[in-house]
Amino acid sequence: MTQLSRRDLLRGAAAGALIAGWDPVSRSWATAADRRRRLDRIPDLDGVLLTDTASRRLAADDYGHFVHHEPVAVLRPASVEDILRLVCFARERAIGVSTRGQAHSGYGQSQAPSGIVIDSSTLARIHRIGSDEAVVDSGVQWRTLIAAGAEQGVTPPVLTDYQGLSVGGTLSLGGLDSGPMRHGAIIDTVRELEVVTGEGDLLTCSPTRRRPLFQSVLGGLGQCGIIVRATLRMVPAPTMALLVRLRYEDVRANHADLAMLVRSGRLDAFEQLITFQDGRWVIDFQGAVYFDPPNAPDTARLLDGLHDVAAHRVVGPVPYLAWTLRFDPTVAATLDDRRVPFNLLAPEETAAAFLADEILSRSPAEIGDRVLQAAGTSSNMHMPMLRMPATDLFVATLLFRPHKTDAEAAAFLADNRTLYDRAAKRGAKRYPWDAVPSFTREDWARHFGDSWPLLVRAKRSYDPAGILGPGPGICSHRRSSAAMPPGAAW
């Protein structure tokens, strides 16, 4: 493996040659044979800078497997100082820098074309867990925090469904759970962040300190800063979860029940899986209510007023910890599947019609063998970069369309774009880890809406050279040319 380390062990894997430095003219690493030219010395690092083909290829891949932009190097930091040094080095040379958590993005969001990818998995320490907060590095995965929290009887109040995501990657998106999201999104539970800006400064920010930085980094897809540490709110962990399962065939009845469940707050979490069975789409709903024995929940009250509860089943109770990890084995077993992800957040008013008209009216061959849904309220979501539908109640819909050929994948990707355009006209937003091609700067400006000026201002202040977060194509010049003058598009 190729590593550039403190000991100047600079080895180019492809050629097996020593790397002597960065050639600012060819914008590539130069070997000892190129010493005729003036080369820039690579900063001393506690960790390693990888330039071998295998490491660069890995950083050019993600959950979607559609976009493959190779970086010139991958930093595996051993300290926050490594990130500071590398960002300063990159800024002076207008090299794009992306942070990669667990790369569960669908369309190259964590990649850096001809730039440097910072792999945050090497900075993954839990610094402290107290009775109401935890301080963690951005590379920590949620399952690690949940397990460590359980030992002290605390849990994050909002959880992702799959716990193999990194804290930093999730905070850069927003962090949605299965519903009803009465605590807001995960980013609403952040108390403080330590961030490396595109200027190479390490800054602390919070709701009361450098608020514009705080607001633009949370949900801001890595555009204004690299999150290196986060202070997250924790709450007492419940012991058990009682599960209720219901089956629906009528979309409108089901969506009316979802709305009622969000408003009543009877369940602590719920989600549903829609599959095609015996020639029709069937909705399998699962809800959970948390409790501490002996205070078992009243099942009749949970089901009161729902449509057709005759076929309901009560499962469990199961331990809360097992509930939080319920998707992990399935996701781990299917990570290498080829699927085209699409994640829509639709307002209550149009969600049922959109599902019925645009998705379930089509065959599983066209739309995929499964549709996942959750519903919630955005009334406690206050961070401006996480864009939600204008109405309080929303329905999240996820497609994971399997494909066998490149042609099939291309057709599904194009269809994602069509579905997005139609849904946006009905007031929906996308949750932008998914795969929607040709998403231009104008699309991003429309997506961020009235938060766009805040993002642009924060970008100018904290990343004036425009080097951070090239992956999503928000700052569009980085996608096409690493040699663009710093700050050109902003």
Candidates 226, 325, 344, 413; binder of ligand FAD (CB under 6 A) is 226
Rule CB under 6 A: is residue 429 a binding residue for ligand FAD?
A: no
Q: What crossing angle do the helices spanning 452-462 and 441-448 adopt, rounded to 10°?
A: 110
DSSP lists the bridge partners of residue 267 as: none
State which residue, 31 or 70, has the beta carbon closest to ligand FAD. Answer: 70
Closest residue by Cα to residue 372 from 256, 243, 274:
274
Alpha-carbon span 378 to 380, nearest angstrom: 5
What's the Rg (C-alpha) of the chain? 23
Residue whose CB is less far from ligand FAD, 20 or 86: 86
Q: In which residue are the tokens 């403190």 written?
A: 6
Q: With CB under 6 A as the contact rule, which of the stretches 48-56, 259-267, 302-310, 467-475 interacts with ligand FAD?
A: 467-475
Please identify which residue in 3, 99, 231, 373 interacts with ligand FAD, judged by CB under 6 A. Answer: 99
- 227 binds ligand FAD, rule: CB under 6 A: yes
Transcribe 24-39 into DSSP letters. TTTTEEEEGGGTTS--
Q: How many whole angstroms separate alpha carbon 360 and alpha carbon 231?
A: 42
- Short-list 137, 130, 135, 136, CA closest to 153: 130
Interface residue with ligand FAD, options 70, 82, 161, 257 (CB under 6 A) = 161
**Residue 194 binds ligand FAD, judged by CB under 6 A:** no
Stretch that binds ligand FAD, among 47-55, 200-208, 465-473, 479-487 (CB under 6 A): 465-473
Site for ligand FAD, residues 107 to 136, rule: CB under 6 A: 109-110, 120
Q: How many CA atoms lie within 13 A of 293 on its CB side?
A: 9
Shortest distance (Å) from residue 34 CB to ligand FAD = 31
Q: Does 100 bind ligand FAD (CB under 6 A)?
A: yes
Report whether 347 contacts 429 (CB < 8 A).
no
- If 0-12 CB within 10 Å is exposed, 13-18 middle and 19+ buried, where does residue 240 land? buried
38: exposed, middle or buried (C-beta count within 10 Å: 0-12, 13-18, 19+)?
exposed
Q: In degrees to the nearest 10, what's the CA dihedral of 87, 112, 78, 15? A: -110
Q: How far is the CB of 83 from ligand FAD (least distance, A)?
A: 9
Interface segment toward ligand FAD; rule CB under 6 A; list 164-172, 261-269, 457-465, 475-483: 164-172
Q: What are the φ/ψ torsions at residue 362 (nearest 5 degrees)? A: -105, 165
Residues numbered 229 to 268 that lie near ligand FAD (CB under 6 A) are none
In the complex, the smallest distance separating the C-beta of residue 104 from ligand FAD, rounded to whole angstroms, is 3
Residue 189 binds ligand FAD (CB under 6 A): no
Q: What x-and-dash track marks residues 14-53 binding ligand FAD by CB under 6 A?
A: ----------------------------------------
Interface residues toward ligand FAD, by CB under 6 A:
63, 98-105, 109-110, 120, 138, 160-162, 165-166, 168-170, 172-176, 221-222, 226-227, 331, 433, 469, 471-472
